[in-house]
């Protein structure tokens, strides 16, 4: 074992910092945001993950949990959902509360985002083999924008 003194500042890492980092990751914070909140450089967070494998695995698990929450929320928005809601009214000077059900209809943008990412072969904007745009030349020849350049260069070579 070396008898030389350690060089550099002692590490700030401890159990309290570890728990704070994990809690922030569960809230969906990035490593950069976590580092800013903790008051260290992002490279320090990365170094701590390298030295403390339990922190690395806990961070991965926390970030996966946050991603799963977002995924579940996106799915709910895509298909629509209903939740209980308490409404308050003023009737003849008296505040009255009533429990109701609030319905949120399906969100088209959320559904499209979901489908494009989960089933890209079926739902992406451009299907395989489909060209960008069709361009008609002189009313009889239809070419796609992807091979238009080839047709133009062929035309130029024929007329030189």
Task: Tell me which of 156 and 146 has the higher pLDDT.
Answer: 156
Q: Where are the domains of the chain?
A: 15-68, 81-123, 130-160
pLDDT, one tens digit per residue, over 83-140 is: 999 999 998 999 999 999 999 999 999 999 999 988 888 887 765 555 555 555 555 5
Average pLDDT taken over every residue of the chain: 84
Sequence-distant (≥ 6) Cβ neighbours of residue 136 within 8 angstroms:
142
* pLDDT score of 38: 93
Q: What is the pLDDT of residues 57-93, one digit of tens each?
A: 999 999 999 999 999 999 999 999 999 999 999 989 9
C-alpha distances (whole Å) from 144 to each of 6, 137, 141, 149, 155 are 68, 10, 10, 9, 15
């Amino acid at each position: 074992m070396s008898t030389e003194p350690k060089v550099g500042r002692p590490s700030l890492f401890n159990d309290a910092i570890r728990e704070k980092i994990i809690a922030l990751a569960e809230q969906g914070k990035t490593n950069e945001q976590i580092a800013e909140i903790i008051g260290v450089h992002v490279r320090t967070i990365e170094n701590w993950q390298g030295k403390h494998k339990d922190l690395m695995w806990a961070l991965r698990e926390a970030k996966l949990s946050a991603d799963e929450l977002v995924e579940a929320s996106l799915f709910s928005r895509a298909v629509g959902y209903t939740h209980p809601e308490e409404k308050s009214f003023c009737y003849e000077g008296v505040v009255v509360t009533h429990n109701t059900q609030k319905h949120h209809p399906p969100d088209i943008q959320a559904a499209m985002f979901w489908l494009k990412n989960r089933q890209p072969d079926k739902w992406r904007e451009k299907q395989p083999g489909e060209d960008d745009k069709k361009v008609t030349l002189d009313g009889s020849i239809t070419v796609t924008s992807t091979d238009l350049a080839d047709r133009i260069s062929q035309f130029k070579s024929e007329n030189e």
